[in-house]
Structure 1
Amino acid sequence: MPQPLRVTAAVSKVLAAFLEDPDADRYGLDLMRSSGHPSGTLYPILLRLQNAGWVETRWEDVDPVAAGRPARRYYRLTPDGVAWARTELAALQAQLSRGLGGATKPRPA
Structure 2
Amino acid sequence: MDKASRVNSSMMAVLQVFLGDPTVPRYGIELTRMADVRAGELYPALYRLEQAGFVASEWFEEADEGRRVPLRRRRYRISQSGIQMAARSLAAERAAQHGPYLWLVH
Contact 1:61 1:71 in 2 (8 A): yes
How many aligned positions are there?
98
Q: Report the structure, 1 or 2, having the larger strand content.
A: 2
Kindly state the Cα deviation for residue 49 of structure 1 after the two structures are TM-superposed. 0.1
List 4+ stretches of structure 1 deviating above 6 A. none
Counterpart in the other structure of 1:51:
51
**Rg (Cα) greater in structure:** 1
RMSD of the alignment, in Å? 2.3
Structure 1 distance, partners of 2:66, 2:50, is 27
Structure 2 distance, partners of 1:28, 1:93, is 27
* Unaligned stretches of 5+ residues in structure 2: none
* Unaligned stretches of 5+ residues in structure 1: 102-109
TM-score, length basis structure 1: 0.78
Counterpart in the other structure of 2:3:
3
Kindly state the Cα deviation for residue 70 of structure 1 after the two structures are TM-superposed. 2.7
TM-score, length basis structure 2: 0.80
